[in-house]
Amino acid sequence: MTFTYDHIMNWPFEEVEHSYTVKDSTIYALGVGFAQDPMDMRQLPYVFEEMEFQAVPTMAAVLATPGFWARDPNTGIDWKKILHGEQGIVIHKPLPPAATLLATTRVTEVLDKGDGKGALIFTERDLVDNDTGVMYATLSGTSFARGNGGFGGPSGPQPQPHTLPDRKPDMSWDFTTRPEAALLYRLSGDYNPLHANPIVAESAGFKKPILHGLCSLGVAGHAILRTYCDYDNSRFKSLKLRFSSPVYPGETLRTEMWKDGDVISFCTKVVERDVVVLNNGRAEVSN
């Protein structure tokens, strides 16, 4: 199938029903690093069901997903050359610890960067409670289809990334990921062997399996929840960022944060390599 603007804009996503439990919420929290300090009582409600259990806000990104839809040959997407460029999360109401959700993904725009330069595919999905109709979150994502430029679609306007403040960070948090972090995080639904099998990782040009981008996002969200929300998930309102470089499990992630009112700007670096892995971050919190 040929990649065309109308074809991708009208891609027929099916409605996804996703039931998750307190156990699933716990596995996600552990996967993004909660409770590495077993004495921090503020983190226990995300991993211990005998507390007043809360779900980590960034877990919304892994719920009711359409899967790797770009791999369907009928899309015309060169799926081996596609990258996850950006991710956004808007929380309308805190996620419950367990629920059955419905979501239908939609393509909102496709931009042509030119022949040999790739295409940008923008998507959204709403997470709605199957029983009550309550909308918990809206997820947005941008995929960079490196092999699909020059298809004759519109070239813009392209949304501009959030600009980080030109001053020293107000706060920062260092978090050392565990060597087996990718193997734990994949239990939240992303079973791509790139994150588990050294042979697959080496064939893709990496020295060993890499951490999921959404796991790195979860660590940055953890930093904001810890630093500016005192682990109260009702205060976490939104997050958006760009993925800029991969992370290897076991590396230390330093999230640098700037607070301007209710807006938290942030970026995340690998300390050992001094490489920015998450950039142009913007979150909103409430006091």
Q: How far is CA 1 from CA 6, 53, 205, in A?
A: 12, 47, 28
Catalytic residue numbers, as ranges: 190, 195
Q: How far is CA 51 from CA 41, 44, 79, 152, in A?
A: 10, 7, 43, 55
